[in-house]
Amino acid sequence: MNNYKIVDTHAHLCDTIFDSDRAEVIERARDAGVYSILTVGENLSDAKLNIELAERYPEVMPAAGLYPSYLDISQAEALTAFIRREKNNLIAIGEVGLDFWIVKEEPEKDIQRKIFSDFIELSIELGLPLNVHSRSAGRHAVTMLLEQGAQKVQLHAFDGKASAAMPAVEAGYFFSIPPSIVRSRQKQKLVKHLHTACLLVETDSPVLGPSPKKRNEPSNAAISVDAIAEIKNIRREEVIETVFENTCRLYGKINL
């Protein structure tokens, strides 16, 4: 069982809030049993920094994506070119997706859909998994992923009902659970209804922590593990083992 470690599958270690103590944050994660951190990006600057961080810290697994609030085709094209160029150094495309909480107007939603669609195509072309944001747009994101034939998908911090998740579960997609589950009835219900075979853990650091007023850290992925174990009434070690195996199924062998 000691071969199974916790992997934070969605964090923003590139965020400037970690500039003063990033090494200590990573050390605290290891102390909590979190041995790998998939670091997503929101723009091209993040993407470049994530690759630099992966060169500096062996625990970091870099991703590159464009956050759905960036309604800019030229930025999306620049990121696409970067991802193609750096595909061998990236573990995922993310975070990308839809956000109908931020974007309300239909013309802007169409731009968001266009950008997301292009990233789905890129994922299929390069064989890189998608790390997907779908706030207030879960059904819409799942529909697009299924219609375009996306194969490798993580739906991060999914905020929809379990019924909205089921088509994605049937397609073999994964759902990552943040430590905010301890204060979110929606996340608790989602975990209750989903099989552990489709669950991952994440932190979305520096947000979605156990306390909304405190900076979240990758070490708190252990809190997600504990919450899943409690809700499912199974041993913590079983959750760690299953979630680690799920992570490897999506992202390949994880270096620990």
In a domain, 132, yes or no: yes
In a domain, 1, yes or no: no
What is residue 140's three-state secondary structure? helix
199-233, pLDDT tens digit by residue? Answer: 999 999 999 999 999 999 999 999 999 999 999 99
Mean pLDDT value of segment 69-76:
97
Task: Give strand pairing partners of 92.
Answer: 63
In a domain, 89, yes or no: yes
In a domain, 256, yes or no: no
Which residue is it, tokens 């075979």? 197
Does the reported pTM lie above 0.95?
A: yes
Range of the domain at 108: 6-251
**Does the pLDDT value for residue 237 go beyond 90?**
yes
**Residue 4 pLDDT grade (very low, low, confident, very high; cuts 50, 70, 90):** confident
Structure-block tokens of residue 120: 């789905």
Kindly report the CATH number assigned to the domain that includes residue 99: 3.20.20.140
Q: How many domains is the chain partitioned into structurally? A: 1
Task: Give strand pairing partners of 131.
Answer: 94, 154
Alpha-carbon distance 129 to 124, whole Å?
Answer: 8
**Does the pLDDT value for residue 40 go beyond 60?**
yes
Mean pLDDT value of segment 107-115:
98
In a domain, 53, yes or no: yes
Say what the pLDDT of residue 255 is.
66
